[in-house]
Every structure is written in C-alpha cells, then in structure tokens.
Chains A and B, each alone.
Chain A
Amino acid sequence: MSANYWTSSQRLHWLLTKETLAERRKGLEDIFDPGKLQTIKALNPWHVRVYLHTLIHLLGQNLSIRQRILATAEVYLTRFHTKVPFGEINPYLVVATAVYVACKVEEHPQHIRTITSEARSLWPDYISHDPTKIAECEFYLIEELGTYLVIFHPYKSLMQISDAMARSNAQITMAPEEIQVTWSMINDSYITDLHLLNPPHIVAMACIYMTVVLRSHIMRMTMPSEAVKSRIEAFMTFFGESNVDLEQTIDCVQEMISLYVNWDTYSEKQCRVEIAKVIT
C-alpha cells in the first residue's frame, strides 16, 4: 500500500468498524415516519445498492467517464448514505452529483450543464433542467463527506500483488484473463460496504482470492485437478507469507459472495418501481 494511504483521510476518518456502521444506519431510521420506514425496509438493500451502481455506470458510460472516477463516485455515495438514509433525498440527483464531484476530484471535470442534461435525458422524471440543483446537492454531498474527498482504490494493489505473485512463484502468475476477472470483481465490490470497512489492499486480495481459489476450477478446466490443487496451495503459501490479514480478507470474500447471491434475484425493472414508491 502506498505511503500516502496510511496518513490519508480515508484511513483516519472514513475507515469504520462493522459495529459503528450498523449503529449509524440504525440511527438514521429515526427520521422517517413509521409508514415510510416500512416501505423502505421492505426493499432488499442489496438490490437498492445494485440499482444505484447501475445508475452510476449508465451515466458514466454515456459521458465516457473512466471506471476509476465512477469508483470514487460510488464510495462518495456509500459514505453519504451512512449520514443520510436512502429515501430521504432524490437518489437520481445524488448519483448525478456524486459523479460530478468525482470527476472534479479526479481531475477530469465535466461541465455541470453536461452532467445535468445527460442525467435528465436518462431520468427525465427525476432530474430537472436546472443545473443549480446539482450545485446545491454538491454542497450537501461535500458537507456530509466531511469534506474528505481523496479516495484510494484497490486497482493499484491488484497490480502490485499480482506482480508480487509472479515474482514469488511462477506457478501462481495471474493470467491476463484472471486479472480481467479480478478487475471486474473489484468494480462490483463498490456495491458493498467493503470500502468503508477495509483498506484497499485487503479488497484487492479478497478479489484475487476469489479468482485464484474459488474460480480456479472454472477458469482452468483444462488443467488436471492435481495441478489446480497444487496451484491453490502455492497461492495460499504466498498469501500466508504476505502479511495481509487472512481473517479480514475472508470476511470480504464472504461479503462478495453475498453480493453475488443477492444479485441473482435482482430485477432492475422491479427495483425501479419499488424505489419510485419510496421517493415520491
């Protein structure tokens, strides 16, 4: 992990324990009246998160915004929702604003009018023509983030760890398609709380573990199973020697598995309808 992470605001101010996070979320429920709270609690929280992820990526693709910037926007969104409960303000507006702020912070600024009109063309029922709506929401977002804006991502750790793997034992060199798979798993990890609970290198290690250990049977079907087994053993040796916390990594792996299990039952259309009920 780069030296700057250890003194970063991400580590000093935005690294939470599961308990704190759960308490914060519980505390947020008080602001709703019982009727609304019931509608919100009826939503599958995983599905809501997948839905928001889809919104961010849709807007991002239409504006050709890079993955890394969208990842920053997603962390903003997750942090924001530890302060302001989902359902309290228009999620489409928050999504557009998070992308807008992330673009600026990552030095690829987009004009506020461009974001507004793109978001409006995607979600005309929820986004107005008026760019000052995003400007106002920007304030609110930055404030709720505690004005901490720099985000460290696992992508760099992925490259560093995979290099270290190749150096330590040729047998566990990651194939290009394995890196690809791990990379997109990291993209998916932004749907979860992992980035509030773990430093980036743990998330990277968890996704590598999933690729190399859990998916290796699928990925390497052509390899005799003895070879698969010995490769996994070699990886576990590397892991054991790496100083990366095993327990914490496995915890992340389980969170990712929960995500994929819940994703299987996700229907975008149904989720859109249910969310519409909450925010009107």
Chain B
Amino acid sequence: MNDAVMAKYTKDKKVGEGTFAVVYVGKQVKTDRKIAIKQIKEGEFKDGVDMSAIREIKFLQEIRHANVIELIDVFTAGPRLSMVLEFLPTDLEGLIKDTKILFRLGDVKAWMLMATRGLHHCHRLQILHRDLKPNNLLISPTGELKIADFGLARQMPNPKDKMTPTVVTRWYRAPELLFGARYYTPAVDVWSLGLIFAELMLRLPYCPGEDDIDQIDKTFRAFGTPTEEEWPGLTSLPAYPKTVNKYPHPSVQELKMRFSAATENGLELFQAMTELNPADRVSCEEALTADYFTEFPRPTKLAELPGRTE
C-alpha cells in the first residue's frame, strides 16, 4: 500500500465532488487503463473515517461482478484514504436527461437487465444497497452498466436487528421505508429498480415527492392506496399516517396509457417490482427470469447502446 501503490497510478484532473470525497481521473501507469481516484475528504478525519467511506470500502472489497463498480485498489497518502475505481464517465441520470438521445425499447431492457444482474449479485451476498437511483448507475466507456455508491449499503442483519428506515433518496424510497419500517428486506432495492424502470420509459421521475408526506401521497396516487388486507401489518408500521388519501390501484388499461411504449411483459415486470407489499414484490432472482427479458426486442448489444464513449 501507501507510496508503492500510489506510484502505480497517476492523478490527472478533478472531475467531481461528492459529500465525502473528491474524485479525480488518472491512469494505471502499467496498463494505461483510465481510472478514477476517489479521495476521502481530509476534514472528516478528525472524527475518524466517515461511515460512508467505510461501507464503500468494506463492500466493494467483497463484491466482484461485471455490473458492480470495481474497486481496483486503496491507498493512503498523508492522512488521506483514496480508492482507485474503474473509470465510469457516464451515469443513467445524465442519459435520461439528455433529450437529444432517443431510447429504444432494447436500450431500456439492456440497462434493466444489467442493473438487475448486479443487484442480484449483491443480494446473493446478503448486501442491501439502499440508495439505488439513476445517478448511482454508472456507464462504462464500453456501455456496461455498473452499480456504484455503496455508502449506504449494509449487510442483511439478523432477523432481530433493527435498521434505520431513513435510507434511499426519497423518490426511489419503497413504501415500507416511507412508513418507517425498522425491519426490511432486499425488496427495498427492487422497488428502487422498479422506479428507475419507470423513469427510463418516461424520461421523467415517476414519483417525485416534494417532501416525505408528499412522497407517500404521490406513491399512492401512482400505485393505489394499499389496504390492511393486501398488506397485513401495514397500518401498524411506525410512521403510517393517521389519514391517507384513497386512490384506486391503476388498471392495466391505465398503465398502458401511462407507459404507451411498454409491452405487456414489460408492464408485468414493472408491476411485480413495485408491489406495495414488500412480501409480494418480486426478487431479483425471479425478475431475471421475466418474459420481458427474453421477448422481442432483445436487449441492445453493448456496442450499440447510447452513452458509451469508446
């Protein structure tokens, strides 16, 4: 580690800054491979290494998968910790917002397939991501989608261990989290993926709540208000609101109108990923066998996907 490791990489220019890190691009000297160096901010060190950085290092050292960002190396220089990551210049949010790019059905399918595979791998290792959103799904120069940002991730706890419900960026937050559930499952990530699916089809966020209360209302408006029969235990969740607006569940017809380009199999998968009751929501493993992924049109080949830079 340290100097010997650092000498293996060049740090060329700053490309971005997040809450706890500054990101530079550089090269792996030996291979000339482009890399990103994520340097944890120094200020944090008086209080020890930030939890997000700990989580990111901890999990990325355990996960190796084509659809999860690769942690190539970690080094310390001075009182700073730096992660060497594979270089991923584009993210799905950028592509969604770039109105010059047209998405074909196969493009959306290819991204959904790669995201579901990456997430399935995390779940198989008992890891919850807890912050899936378009801006954490990065695109490699060759067009591969990679799940990134494990700063909120955690190991699936023992059944008795509580977890905090204040995870996941609001628009992608599953209903059980909105209601303050302290025990939840990988289904929270599947919900986020479902909302990303909708956003890929619409090119707009599907449930853009303005605050936590509005988020519940927008979620019910989009998916219908669940009942205690459909979801036993629902109304006793810690943050279930005293009064809720009652909206009907959207009919198939209604959904077809909202997602005019989607196929029936596509809508079926979307619905399965966004079941309000987490116990009824599809798992990644099941999702991967959905007819949507095998029906025509096939997922676009990497070489033809928008967003690749090579």
**Binary CB contact string for chain A from 123 to 143 against chain B (1 if under 8 A, 0 otherwise):** 000000001101110110011
Interface assignment of B231: CB less than 8 Å from any CB of chain A:
no
For residue B46, which residues in chain A have a CB less than 8 angstroms away from its CB? Answer: 131-132, 135
**B51 near A150: Cβ-Cβ < 8 Å:** no
**CB of B75 to closest CB in A, whole Å:** 8
For residue A107, which residues in chain B have a CB less than 8 angstroms away from its CB? Answer: 154-155, 157
Interface assignment of B54: CB less than 8 Å from any CB of chain A:
yes
B-binding segment of A4-12, A190-198, A248-256, A270-278:
A4-12
Task: Report the bound CA distance from A142 to B80 in whole Å.
Answer: 12
**CB of B233 to closest CB in A, whole Å:** 24
Closest chain A residue, CB of each to CB of B121: A7
**CB of A127 to closest CB in B, whole Å:** 15
Interface assignment of A3: CB less than 8 Å from any CB of chain B:
yes
Task: Report the bound CA distance from A136 to B17 in whole Å.
Answer: 24
**Binary CB contact string for chain A from 91 to 125 against chain B (1 if under 8 A, 0 otherwise):** 00000000011001101010110000000000000
**Binary CB contact string for chain A from 3 to 31 against chain B (1 if under 8 A, 0 otherwise):** 11001110000000000000000000000
Task: Report the bound CA distance from A134 to B51 in whole Å.
Answer: 15
**B54 near A4: Cβ-Cβ < 8 Å:** no
Interface assignment of B247: CB less than 8 Å from any CB of chain A:
no
For residue B64, which residues in chain A have a CB less than 8 angstroms away from its CB? Answer: 7
B:60-108 near A, CB below 8 Å: 61-62, 64, 74, 76, 79, 81
**B62 near A139: Cβ-Cβ < 8 Å:** no
In the complex with contacts A3-B125, A135-B45, A109-B51 CB distance below 8 A? yes
Task: Report the bound CA distance from A153 to B40 in whole Å.
Answer: 29
One of A112, A142, A147 near B47 (C-beta < 8 A): A112
**Binary CB contact string for chain A from 197 to 229 against chain B (1 if under 8 A, 0 otherwise):** 000000000000000000000000000000000
Interface assignment of B18: CB less than 8 Å from any CB of chain A:
no
Interface assignment of A55: CB less than 8 Å from any CB of chain B:
no
**A4 near B81: Cβ-Cβ < 8 Å:** no
Interface assignment of A45: CB less than 8 Å from any CB of chain B:
no
In the complex with contacts A2-B126, A100-B48, A143-B2, A149-B57 CB distance below 8 A? yes
**B58 near A112: Cβ-Cβ < 8 Å:** no
Closest chain B residue, CB of each to CB of A8: B62
Interface assignment of A263: CB less than 8 Å from any CB of chain B:
no
Task: Report the bound CA distance from A84 to B188 in whole Å.
Answer: 42
Closest chain B residue, CB of each to CB of A138: B48
Task: Report the bound CA distance from A256 to B106 in whole Å.
Answer: 59
**A7 near B125: Cβ-Cβ < 8 Å:** yes
**CB of A119 to closest CB in B, whole Å:** 14
Interface assignment of A240: CB less than 8 Å from any CB of chain B:
no
**A104 near B62: Cβ-Cβ < 8 Å:** no
**CB of A218 to closest CB in B, whole Å:** 32
Closest chain B residue, CB of each to CB of A146: B1
Closest chain A residue, CB of each to CB of B80: A139
**CB of B161 to closest CB in A, whole Å:** 8
Interface assignment of A32: CB less than 8 Å from any CB of chain B:
no
For residue B61, which residues in chain A have a CB less than 8 angstroms away from its CB? Answer: 9, 147-150
Most A-side CB within 10 Å, residue of B2, B47, B64, B124: B47
**Binary CB contact string for chain B from 23 to 49 against chain A (1 if under 8 A, 0 otherwise):** 000000000000000000000011111
**B54 near A139: Cβ-Cβ < 8 Å:** no
**A135 near B47: Cβ-Cβ < 8 Å:** yes
Closest chain A residue, CB of each to CB of B57: A147
For residue B58, which residues in chain A have a CB less than 8 angstroms away from its CB? Answer: 105, 149-150
For residue A8, which residues in chain B have a CB less than 8 angstroms away from its CB? Answer: 62
In the complex with contacts A135-B45, A139-B76, A104-B51 CB distance below 8 A? yes
For residue A3, which residues in chain B have a CB less than 8 angstroms away from its CB? Answer: 124-125
B:126-164 near A, CB below 8 Å: 126, 154-155, 157
Task: Report the bound CA distance from A185 to B62 in whole Å.
Answer: 28
**B49 near A4: Cβ-Cβ < 8 Å:** no
Closest chain B residue, CB of each to CB of A97: B48
Task: Report the bound CA distance from A101 to B81 in whole Å.
Answer: 15
One of A2, A138, A146, A148 near B49 (C-beta < 8 A): A138
**A142 near B126: Cβ-Cβ < 8 Å:** no
Task: Report the bound CA distance from A168 to B157 in whole Å.
Answer: 28
Task: Report the bound CA distance from A142 to B45 in whole Å.
Answer: 13
**B81 near A139: Cβ-Cβ < 8 Å:** yes
For residue A101, which residues in chain B have a CB less than 8 angstroms away from its CB? Answer: 54
For residue A135, which residues in chain B have a CB less than 8 angstroms away from its CB? Answer: 45-49
Task: Report the bound CA distance from A149 to B59 in whole Å.
Answer: 9
In the complex with contacts A3-B124, A104-B51, A147-B57, A142-B62 CB distance below 8 A? no
Chain A residues engaging chain B, CB cutoff 8 angstroms: 2-4, 7-9, 100-101, 104-105, 107, 109, 111-112, 131-132, 134-136, 138-139, 142-143, 146-150
Q: Which 9 A-B pairs have the closest CB atoms?
A: A147-B74, A149-B58, A4-B125, A112-B48, A135-B48, A104-B54, A9-B61, A143-B76, A143-B1
